[in-house]
Amino acid sequence: MVKSERPKLVVGLSGASGVAYGLRVLDACRELGVESHLILSRAAVLTIGQETDLAVADVQARADVSHKPGDVGASIASGSFPTLGMIIAPCSVRSMSEIATGVTSSLLTRAADVTLKERRPLVLMVRESPLHLGHLRTMVRLAEMGAVIAPPVPAFYARPATLEEMVDQSVGRALDIFGLSWSSVRRWGQDIGPAGQEA
């Protein structure tokens, strides 16, 4: 059996609004030559139907490997399976809360727990607003455990002209955390700002 030499990234989509973020993570992985391992939560399947015209099979086809949410024996459920880390985009409050407790009930949250215990980057693009104190305390707990809380906040300094550009900027900045530089990101001092000032 020939082992893949490509870096691997675990990509989770939970049931929060914002499926576009996860889709673009998968697209970016393909462009960057990163092997993507996808997990869709059961709620994410519902959100895909509400927010896109895609079938679940279309989303799964964007990934190199697609795992079933109940398959807790999958490769990505083990710390011995080498990855760059994991991103959940979007990340629901429910998934975030389950990860924070360590009591995981699905492959999505199990893979996140493994990522934390192996001290690999875990990026959570949390989609909720406004946040109550319980949400904030959960985020603090996760940050103390080593997770990166990265809500998809628009970067208006990049002067996005479309929703797609706003999504790509947030996704690209999240991928920076894994050392992945995606060409769709507009960077201060390069494309925009002092050194790359636009006319």
CATH number for the domain spanning 157: value is: 3.40.50.1950
Domain count, the chain: 1
Amino acid identity at 122: L
Report yes or no on 124 lying in a domain: yes
∠153-158-160 over CA atoms, to 5°? 80
Report yes or no on 84 lying in a domain: yes
Report yes or no on 129 lying in a domain: yes
Helices H, strands E: what count in the chain? Answer: 7, 6
Report yes or no on 191 lying in a domain: no
Q: What is the pLDDT of residues 112-147, one digit of tens each?
A: 999 999 999 999 999 999 999 999 999 999 999 999
Angle between helices 19-32 and 163-176 (to 10 degrees): 60
Report yes or no on 1 lying in a domain: no
Report yes or no on 181 lying in a domain: no
For the chain, what is the mean pLDDT? 95
Report yes or no on 190 lying in a domain: no
Give the domain range for residue 100: 8-176
Q: What is the pLDDT of residue 3?
A: 63
Closest CA to 35 of 58, 57, 67: 67
Q: What is the pLDDT of residues 76-116, one digit of tens each?
A: 999 999 999 999 999 999 999 999 999 999 999 999 999 99
7 burial type by CB count under 10 A (0-12 exposed, 13-18 middle, 19+ buried): middle
Model's pTM, two decimal places? 0.94
Report yes or no on 113 lying in a domain: yes
